[in-house]
Structure 1
């Protein structure tokens, strides 16, 4: 028997229903050994993942017993439940670039879990480098997927849409007919640059994560728009892209100083903290000599000394809206919805510029550090 791939019911559900009928009808005797996974794959023309999903659900419903090293057995008559079994739980995939690194990720997942509590669904977390969720989706083992940190040309979106899988993106998908939940990241970049300008900083740089992330591109566009409107230069050597690491943050601080920057818009609080720490090592005072602001309003930004101005993005609310949007699709609503969650700026010491006093600006610690790193860069 070959399962029907054009059947709206996922392949693993078709196989599950087929095996359940064989068990309940007595064709598979109570306590009898089921065919091996390889044999089930051959007999029904499906993948190992499809077979495992079907057997896992049958085991959850106490219709089979899996014995390591021996195989899978049909449940005995005494243990077999009646037909009033609970509804199947749905499985969702969350695909993230940084699966455990940032406070933003943890707060986002907390919002997702909160929204899932009243629903019969489980959330599986995958890193962006994994592809196992594609196999799950093709086998019908996923009810929907959420992609965080989408890239500018993200092939995953098209591939998942071809599978007719309900899909929502955290960020701008830059493709038609794909639902999204996001902050207005163009305005985020603009608001941070505008705040630094209003505080008296004029040589403002930008420091974000990978340039292919749509969130980075959007914030960079907002930053550039403010500088152009204010008539400020926007040289390339003040626009940096780094990684989620302390080394990357400290290196970026040195490059910004060498480029003559007196402030920076950081795409994340972690980068802002690393830049601030490097400036302190160079005796450059954050908030007076050099302005720094970040994103996510994390605990590290609030507790750092000096405390760091940061944009609150409400990741818990982003998570709740992602689940709401995804379940609207799962329930049959095919309208593409793009939800924007508001954010606000938390102003702290790192952007509170003070008068230079009696010192000539050319003699400040900032200028000394700039000259030092410019010399190092030219030597390299």
Structure 2
């Protein structure tokens, strides 16, 4: 027989309100009553329905995970891995994850979810300059956290040490004898682009070498100029093409192959992000490995703690691995 709040209340000789308060842990009832109810529901293996649990706790038990609506297919390995970390950790808190597509081109889905009280908290998976998503959340009475450094002291975030990691990778390449590098980067409106750009420059500075600004090419994710930019870089004597992420690196590798340019014989190649998008590349590509799953799990955990009223501090994960492979030998 299925148990309900009504049947439990009748069996225990209590009101439905009293039983609900005992289960939710809220409301003024005696500890003896709370103990009696909880012992009984454990005995009968009663689990409140999602609706009843939500009403009792005044929560939806949903967290919104905001993805950019313009995510290209090549970017998805990162977002999928991040999402896995968020979802796995959410299970531990008995929460479900609602995927919301919103970015600087439109935040209507996020507005609907917040204003219609579909979610209790929000994780923003990508950090943009002058972000409409973040600006909206700052005005709302809802806990949120951003993945990536928003460069705003008022915004809570978790991030990888992109600047430090990219700097260390450039230093490693310089130590290997590679001095002239071209940088192929993404959109200047994305904060991680700026962090990785600074890390690139810091690597040269730390080794006492100048940066050739003419070999830095940004906003290349959707550019039809990639092939001509690569030819320009090679004509200027670039020894290595440094890509800010796996998607760009994959595109560069294809362009070089189509032009009959061999890696690493004619030019070396590396990426500031390692994913399964590059796992079958020939040759294997030197890249930086970050644990996006761990980052997603950390973001969810901090968000849940904040939701429970705890003050949280921003966190930057310092662990990364430089994967030296055939493309830079």
Coarse TM-score class (shorter-chain normalised): 0.7 to 0.9
In the alignment, which of 96, 102, 126 is matched to residue 122 of structure 1? Answer: 96
Please state how far the C-alpha of 1:197 moved relative to its aligned partner: 1.2
> Is the Cα–Cα contact under 8 Å of residues 237 and 259 in structure 1 kept in the other structure?
no
CA contact (8 A) 1:152 1:214 kept: yes
- 1:109 equivalenced with 2:86 (yes/no): no
CA change 1:298–1:85 in 2 (3 A) is closer
Partner of 2:7: none
Determine if contact 2:169/2:203 at 8 Å carries over to the other structure: no
Equivalent residue in structure 2 for 1:173, among 150, 157, 162: 150
The answer to whether the 8 Å contact 2:147/2:159 transfers is yes
Q: 1:151 aligns with which of 124, 128, 147?
A: 128
Unmatched tracts of structure 1, length 5 or more: 1-23, 25-81, 353-380
TM-score when scaled to structure 1?
A: 0.65
More relative contact order in 1 or in 2 (CA 8 Å, sep 6+)?
2
* RMSD after superposition: 2.6
Q: Distance in 2 between matches of 1:164 and 1:243?
A: 37
Offset, 1:84? 10
* Residue of structure 1 equivalent to 2:63: 92
- Structure 1 residues 106, 100: closer, same or farther in 2, change over 3 A? farther
- 1:187 paired to 2:158: no
What is the distance in 2 between the residues matched to 1:165 and 1:320?
19
User: In structure 2, how many angstroms separate the alpha carbons of the residues matched to 1:123 and 1:84?
Assistant: 14
The offset of 1:172, in angstroms, is: 0.3
- Shift of residue 95, structure 1, vs aligned partner: 1.8
Once residues 107 and 184 of structure 1 are traced to their aligned partners in structure 2, the CA distance between those partners, rounded to angstroms, is 18
Whole-angstrom CA distance in 1 between matches of 2:134 and 2:178: 40
Whether 1:238 and 2:212 are equivalent positions in the alignment is no
Does 1:160 pair with 2:126? no
> How many angstroms apart in 2 are the aligned matches of 1:84 and 1:112?
20
Unaligned runs of 5+ in 2: 1-15, 17-47, 55-59
| Preserved contact between residue 99 and residue 126 of structure 1 (Cα < 8 Å) | no
TM-score by length of 2: 0.75
Q: Is the 8 A contact 2:171 2:206 kept in 1?
A: no
In structure 2, the CA distance between the partners of 1:176 and 1:311, relative to structure 1 (3 Å rule), is: same
Task: Quote the Cα distance in structure 2 between the aligned partners of 1:195 and 1:318.
Answer: 25
2:256 matched to 1:256? no
Give 2:314's match in structure 1, choosing from 296, 313, 337.
337
What is the CA-CA distance between 1:85 and the residue it aligns to? 5.8
In 1, are the aligned partners of 2:127 and 2:147 still within 8 Å (CA)? yes
Q: Deviations over 1:80-136 (max 9, x none)?
A: xx9996312422222223546221111111111111123332222233234121232
Which structure has the bigger radius of gyration? 1
- The size of the alignment, in residue pairs, is 272
User: Which runs of structure 2 are paired with 1:17-56 in the superposition (5 Å)?
Assistant: none
